[in-house]
Each structure stands twice: as C-alpha cells, then as structure tokens.
Chain A
C-alpha cells in the first residue's frame, strides 16, 4: 500500500467490505450464494476480511444442479472445510426425479427449474431476507443495469424498469416480509480485477481455470468437456484430448472451454490482458435468446 493512497484494487476492496457490512447490519437473515467459481472465492475472501477476526456471520448456500464439474464439487467441499464455512446445499430433488437434465430438457427449461426455482425455494425455506452474489456489472449488459442492493418482490422477481434510485453509498435495505434483496458487493469489479486480486491475495480457485489436457467434443463451435458418462455423444462424435481451460464455470454441459496454454496465474493474467473475447461467450445460457439474462433475472435467477 502506498502511504496516503489506495490502489484501484484496494478501493474496490474497501467498497465491497462496506457493502457486506451494511447488509449484515440491516438484515435479519443474510446468506451468501456460493457458486464455486472464481468470483465466489473472491467474495468469500472479502467477507472474511469484512468480519475478521469473527467468522462469517451468515451461511453459504450452493444451488447444486448435480450437473457441475466433478472438480468443482471436490473443491467446494475442501474449501468449505478448510475455511470453516457453514455451507448449505440445495437441489431441486423433485425435478431431478422427473429427469431434469440440460440434454433432455434443453438449457432454458433446465436452468429455470434446476437453478431459478431451486434458488427461490431455498431462499424461502431458509427464510433469508438478503442474498449476496458475486455478480459483476461488466459481465453482461443487463447486469450492467443492476443496483448494488437489488430489490426482489415476494416471488423473487426483478423489475428492471422500476429500480430504487441508489445514491452515494447510502443503500436502502427496507423491505416487507417475504420480499428480499440481492446484494452485489463486487458490482464494480471487472474480470481482470478479479484475476489480479486472486493472484495478489493467493486465493484458491478450482483447477479447471488452469489449462490441462481434458476430454472434449466440439459442438456448434463450443468446446464441451465430457466430465462423466452422462454426456450423450451424438452420432459420429468422438471425445478427443485437448489442452483447454475455463474462464467461467457452471454446469459442465453448458460451459464452453477455451484452448489455452495458461497453466499459472501469471499466464492467465497475460492471456486476459490480450483477450479479444468476453468471458461469457462460453456461457451458453446467455445466448438462448436476445435479452436472455434479463428474462431469467426477471423470474428470479441470480
């Protein structure tokens, strides 16, 4: 730290901590959505800093679709154990029993049931009135429109045309019973900021972010990793081993890999600085239809 001056990252960190503390101070039952990705890892670290030396004053919630990469689940369980986190896991069991899968149901229907509905159920069952997420405004253009404290009605719905004005850092946390707030402490971070912070702070992340030989098939221009035997191969498709990594992590059948040789964090940073495509071009659910993310968020998607 330069005496008397905060770097850009230090300013972002201070702002995030302020938001985390405001929400904890103003709400009865906050929870942190934990999706295992790099942003989640950073968000957990920011929360640890905000409340140190006390432990996190809220549980973590993972909406497990059962279609995550195996490496993610391994990482999740180790990360929670090593950090002493109170991790709750919720899965939409009923839909699963009915055969919900991204292959059988299509990405749209599957996301709605296994992610949006599951999330709303879990928030209601837990009685949570505020939920933190690691979303950033630079990710996607409807995210760019969202407030730091984003109001959701009793059905978890977002009304982008009628958001509360949000001035200075005076966040309005007033809600009625049943309504809730989604809070985004990392709103002003960019993808590059996140990588730089991970490197500087030595934050553990899922190994899938680093390049390694992996079994993939190329489908409609997207490299999909064959993570387990549930992956239905189309006629003529033969998985081949390529050196790839992921810029973003979600359900493995819906997340595209990129060809890369970046095996260390400095390699990733170098690659990021020279990147010509955004991280979400590998996210299939963003491209289902125009304004897709907005439509999902209106329904309650995080």
Chain B
C-alpha cells in the first residue's frame, strides 16, 4: 500500500521486508468502548485500507450508522472489522476478526475481539496468540467489570505488554484529571494481577487523537501516539530462548530408509549430533539429520517446522516429545492449572473430558476447583463448579501422563484445551502452573514411612493452613503469627510462600528444621545432594548410609 514504496528498488524492498518483525496484538475491553472503531481508525490513518473497502464502508455508513452519534457523512470505522451480518445488525462484535497491516518498521496482526460478556471466549481466542493487548476504557465510564475480567484473562494468558487506551477523551473535554484517575485505577488492577508492563495513552478513536497522529488537544500529555508505541514495543522471543522441545505431530515414512519425526519446534534449538530424550519412553538417541522440506539443515530453532531423523530405531509416535536430556519436561498425571471456562454447560467434575496438550490428547477430569475468582474484586472465592466465563484455579487428573513446562515458563508446552467428548465443543482453556503430588514419575514407588508413624513421632496431626489476607505482606504477618502460636503450643510448623515452586517450599521446610526430600530426574544414576554436596554410592543402601552420615 502507498505507505511503503519501493524507493530502493525491489531488492532493497525485499531486504526491508525480511528485517521487519511481527507484533501480534489483541484489542480488549468492555462493550461500546470503541475497539472496532479504534482498529478502523488505526488502519485508515496508517494507510492499511484499500479504496474499494473504504468506498464500501462509506456507503454502508450512510445507510445507517451503528453508532447513534455523529453525522452520517462520517465513516463508521467499526464497519471495517464487524464483518458478520449479525454484528452489523446489532452494532456489536460477536467474534474475533483478524486484520493485517504493515508500517515501515513492523508487520502487525490485529485480533479485534468482542467486549460483550457473552462472547468472552472469543476474546480469549484472540488473546491466546497475542504479544500485546490494547485494553480500551471509555473515559466517561472508567474501569468496568468487563475491563477487569479482560485484564485478568490477558494476565493469565501471559501477555507481555498491556497498553491502556483511554478512549473518547473528546467527550470529556480532554480532561487530564479524568485520564489520570483511570490510569491510577488500572495500575491498581495491574498490580493485583501481576501484569508485567502497563502503559496508558489518552485517545479519541473516532476523531483520531493520538492514534496515528499526535493530538494538539492533549498538550498536558508528553507520550507518543499509539502507533509509535506499537512500533517500538520490544517483541521478546521466549520460545527461541527456551529449552529444546519438539512435540511429534506425525512420522514421515515414505519408504524404506527414511523415518522422520515431524513437528514444529515449540522452543529452543536442535542440530545434528544432539543427544535427545524421548518422552514418555525415556529412551535416548542421537539426531542424525534435521530436515526442512526434505532437505538437511545444520541447525533448527523455534518456531520452525522440521522432521528429525535419529540414529536408533526407537518407537516414537504422535504425542511423544523430543527434548535434550539435560532439560527434561515435567511428567505428571495430575496438574494444577488456571482454567477459563468457555461453555454454556457448566463444568461436570464427574465427567471425563478430552485434554489436548501439544500434540497429545488424553482423557482427563477436573478433580477439584481450588478457588474461583470474583470478576468484580479479582479476589479468590470458593466455587464448586464453573459456568460460562468463570476463571478458576483447578486440579486436573489425566488418565495418561502429559509432559509439560509451567505456562509461565513456556506457553506452548504449558497450555491445553478441554474438549467435551460428547458435543466435541472446546469448553475450556487451561494454563498449567505445576505438577501435583501423585505425579506419574513416582510410578509405583511408595513412601516407606507411614503417615501414621510420622504423626505419632511428631505428636501432631498435620494440616495445610492457607493464610489469606488482602495483601501478601498481611498474609505473611498472619502466617507468622500462627507459626508462633503453634510453636508456643509445642507444635512444629513452618511458613512457605504459596507463589514459589516446590524447591522453594522445601528450602523453607528445611530452614524450619524438617528434612525435606525432593525427588527429581537426573541423567547419570542415583545420587543425593546434601547441602550442596552430591553423594553417590554403588548401592542404594550404601547411599542412604552416606546421607545419614552427612547430615546433622
């Protein structure tokens, strides 16, 4: 389009195209806050629209604007993205629309999503692949419940950058105090949700202020326009930096002599000669060739689609994962996860669903709803089941092990969907936080100390006391008060930080005088690490004796 010209000839233009990176962003917020209008404005002012598209929308705008206000000669920008008949009839966005535009420095994929509470699942659809979220707030109305719900989903989905567009500033006279107060509300929400970055811009999507052109009506505001901000947001690539993971999609076997394990590398790098571990079999082999389109390449990395050939004839099929031995995935049948429920039918805890994770589909039940979240206050609330749009922390029990990373570490290996096996609908999106006790890796091994024995020795029954308060600091205060009171009453307790992982919890138990034993996977034989020293022995019995001698 006219914005990008071939000033340096075709070769120069192609080089420039190769240098451009890609930012995927999603627009979120409440109904009628102007999301579709903002996208239309952005595309229009950044020359992302063709004349015939403009002409068609101009014609439709005259026929009847979905917006009650303004003169009919104005373009109804929302018509560029509200592409379904029902959307134009009702003047609302029902499903996500994807739009594409390019500037001199970057390519963009926009997911324009509905604000209507009924269609929150479509908002999550658009947000799941986004690097950044534009959250719109109507300057006249401020932060609404749906704004909070959307912000929470953006936070859960791990979106790196949130850009708050305080819209319709023209309708509040570009009043700085209105903007400041909304931004302070948003910051409070951002902190509560643990949003990593929050940036705010005062805009008018309808009039174009601070969207692509800097507004003269906000002299009090020193920042850049929305487009400039989007062009300079850092696009981080967590996938490429991570450990190597290749979920196997299918096995290519065109004839005798070729067996390629095909899939998209979801994180990390692989090259010929690498030793790889196959999950779940635990067998290892060496990569003899990394193939792209049937041709061998030296090295491949996320998100390339490849086929790997291995030195050994190992049984590998769809749903298995190839990794480097030193960076294995967690293997478990029971996991803790955050769930966004997307179905009109409530969660049935007695029912088994299909859980699709990477290329693996297993049967699974949601065994426990640990807590839900109040959409209004964002505080945890007790829940026994989940209905449409509920967000909750749950325990999921799978009938076969899955191999995963925590979603916070790696999206592609931490995400799953639940499918109703009767209706075939996608009913929930899940983000794994950690493995639960009862993990498959422990296999058939059982603790040799009975719970009864241990309780008798300590002279106490044991319990998990979850100390909940308005802030983390207050929760710790409460926790330490309980610990003191228990200790004074001749009970042994120690406080662990719920947000930390198992190792941190074990450290806390150890500091509290308990021996905390952590089970993990290692490449070469059995060993036990005691206070930083790794102990080995020729037999397990001897190893246990050495450990007993090493601790005080």
Residues of chain A having any CB pair with chain B under 8 Å: 2-11, 13-15, 17-18, 21-22, 24-25, 48-55, 137-138, 140-145, 160-161, 163-170, 172, 174-176, 187-188, 190, 192, 196, 200, 266, 269-270, 273-278, 281, 290-291, 294-295
Contacts and interface: CB of A to CB of B under 8 A. Distances in A.
B293 A52 contact: yes
A281 B10 CA distance: 26
Contact of A277 (B50, B84, B264, B412): B50
B5 A137 contact: no
Interface string B4-32: 11100010011001101110000000000
A172 B424 contact: yes
A62 B258 CA distance: 31
B340 to A, nearest CB: 9
Interface residues of B, number: 80
B148 interface: no
Contact of B252 (A51, A190, A274, A277): A51
A277 to B, nearest CB: 5
B457 interface: no
A137 B98 contact: yes
Closest 7 CB pairs of A and B: A52-B294, A141-B83, A54-B254, A17-B305, A49-B293, A278-B50, A174-B424
B324 interface: no
A92 to B, nearest CB: 27
A188 B109 contact: yes
Contacts of A9: 17-18
A161 B417 contact: no
B254 A144 contact: no
A270 B6 contact: yes
Contact of B303 (A15, A170, A187): A15
A175 B294 CA distance: 32
A165 B305 contact: no
Given A52-B293, A294-B84, A145 B96 contact: yes
Contacts of B44: none
Interface centre among A8, A14, A141, by most B CB within 10 Å? A141
Given A10-B304, A14-B305, A18-B305, 11 more contacts: A6-B304, A13-B305, A25-B359, A138-B99, A145-B97, A161-B86, A165-B342, A166-B125, A172-B426, A276-B50, A294-B85
B124 A21 contact: no
B84 A8 contact: no
Given A166-B125, A168-B411, A273-B5, A174 B354 contact: yes
B294 A53 contact: yes
B434 interface: no
B500 interface: no
A167 B124 contact: yes
Interface in B99-138: 99-100, 102, 107, 109, 121-122, 124-125, 128-129
A21 B258 contact: no
Given A53-B258, A144-B83, A277-B52, A167 B429 contact: yes
A128 B51 CA distance: 39
Contacts of A55: 254
Contacts of A163: 95, 122
A196 B264 contact: no
16 contacts: A7-B18, A8-B107, A9-B18, A14-B304, A17-B305, A22-B249, A141-B83, A165-B429, A169-B412, A172-B417, A172-B426, A174-B354, A175-B424, A190-B100, A192-B102, A266-B10
B2 interface: yes
Contacts of B426: 164-167, 172
B304 A53 contact: no
Given A52-B294, A145-B95, A196 B83 contact: no
Main secondary structure of the interface of B (DSSP, over half): mixed
A161 B109 CA distance: 22
Nearest to B294: A52
B240 A170 contact: no
B161 interface: no
B382 to A, nearest CB: 26
Contacts of A53: 252, 254, 258, 260, 294
A41 to B, nearest CB: 16
Contacts of B240: 4-5
A52 B412 CA distance: 25
Contacts of A275: 1, 50
Contacts of A273: 1, 4-6, 13
A-side binding surface: helix, strand, loop or mixed? loop
B303 A6 contact: yes
A58 to B, nearest CB: 13
Contacts of B412: 168-169
B2 A170 contact: no
Contacts of A52: 252, 291, 293-295
A48 B240 CA distance: 26
B60 interface: yes
Contacts of A160: 84, 86, 94-95
A16 to B, nearest CB: 8
B476 to A, nearest CB: 35
Nearest to A137: B98
Contacts of B293: 48-49, 52
Contact of A167 (B125, B252, B292): B125
A2 B5 CA distance: 24
A184 to B, nearest CB: 11
Contact of B98 (A144, A168, A192, A266): A144
B416 interface: yes
A174 to B, nearest CB: 4
A188 B303 CA distance: 15
A54 B84 contact: no
Contacts of B81: 141, 144
B533 interface: no
A9 B19 CA distance: 11
A209 B240 CA distance: 38
B129 A168 contact: yes
Could you say which of A2, A9, A170, A295 has the most chain B C-beta atoms within 10 Å of its C-beta?
A170
Contacts of A14: 264, 303-305
Contacts of B50: 275-278, 281
B216 to A, nearest CB: 29
Given A170-B356, A277-B51, A294-B83, A25 B249 contact: yes
A291 to B, nearest CB: 4
B2 A11 contact: no
A218 B124 CA distance: 47
B10 A145 contact: no
Contacts of A166: 125, 426
B85 A291 contact: yes
A144 B129 contact: no
B328 interface: no
Contacts of B253: 54
A15 B98 CA distance: 16
B191 interface: no
A172 B100 contact: no
B391 to A, nearest CB: 14
B425 A164 contact: yes
Contact of B100 (A7, A17, A138, A169): A138
Contacts of A200: 14
Contacts of B14: 196, 200
Interface string B52-78: 110000001000000000000000000
Nearest to A279: B50
A167 B305 contact: no
